[in-house]
Structure 1
Amino acid sequence: MTSHIAAPDPAAEDPRLLALRDLLNDERIAIRTGDFARLGDLVARKEKAMADMQALPASRIPALRNRIEENQRLIEAALNGFRSARSRIDQIAASVRSCTTYDRNGQSQQISLDSPAIERRA
């Protein structure tokens, strides 16, 4: 009968790896819950933890690479969402300030709603 022994978690062997793993988990939770104010503190702590990792052999770090890459993807997705929301807000704000119309030849023109050329009748 063969027994399957799970490979040890490399992060469990070194407190520096454990600290970075915990920071990456905290960062992931902050990103996924939208707690972006917390990221500033986590980034500073993560930079320090990464600096502490310089003394470790490179073979010990891949265990956390997936967590780092996942957090990077989450951050990029959040930034894309912010950009899309900002673009939509700008579009809505522009539509309130002006109106696009077309003449009989199909040419478009912008009319500013603040323009004195617009006659308002009561």
Structure 2
Amino acid sequence: MAEQKPTALLKLLDDERAALLRGDYADLDELAPSKQKLLARLGEQALSERNMQRVAHAVRRNQALLAAAIDGMRAARGRMDGLRQQRSSFSTYDKSGQRQQVDAGRTVIERKV
């Protein structure tokens, strides 16, 4: 059996990497079905050790980028939650130095006619 080259898979993994670096997560959804098919067919191909290493390297590289993207989204969500909480309440200290939580209720503007 002649050796096959994983050209289509490597191209797709490069496209996935580019989408991750751009933060274009919609492209990842579009690439996923093709990626699954190409990875499933990988076992049927006669690849050299060198080509298997190239594919493994590209997959590991993209896994690291995906993990970093997920960590970044979690951090952003945590920051947004913190900002939301700051808008609804804040902490202050009383005369004795004890910390006290103050809820920020709705601000009412009184208008006199």
Shared fold, TM over 0.5:
yes
CA deviations 1:89-115 (Å, max 9, x no partner) are 111111010011223343322111128
**1:40 is aligned to 2:29:** yes
- 2:18 corresponds to: 29
Normalization by structure 1: what TM-score? Answer: 0.75
Q: CA deviation at 1:57?
A: 4.8
Q: CA deviation at 1:48?
A: 0.6
- 1:3 corresponds to: none
- 2:60 corresponds to: 69
Query: In the aligned structure 2, how far is the partner of 1:69 from the partner of 1:105?
Result: 56
Q: What does residue range 1-122 of structure 1 map to in structure 2 within 5 Å?
A: 14-15=4-5, 17-57=6-46, 59=49, 60-114=51-105
Look up the SS of the partner of 1:101 in the other structure.
Answer: strand
Aligned length: 106
- 1:7 corresponds to: none
Between the two proteins, what is the percent identity of the paired residues?
35
Where relative contact order (Cα < 8 A, 6+ residues apart) is larger, the structure is 2
What root-mean-square deviation, in Å, do the aligned CA atoms of Structure 1 and Structure 2 show?
Answer: 2.4
The one-letter code matched in structure 2 to 1:94 is: Q
The one-letter code matched in structure 2 to 1:51 is: A
Q: Deviating runs (4+, > 4 A) in structure 1?
A: none
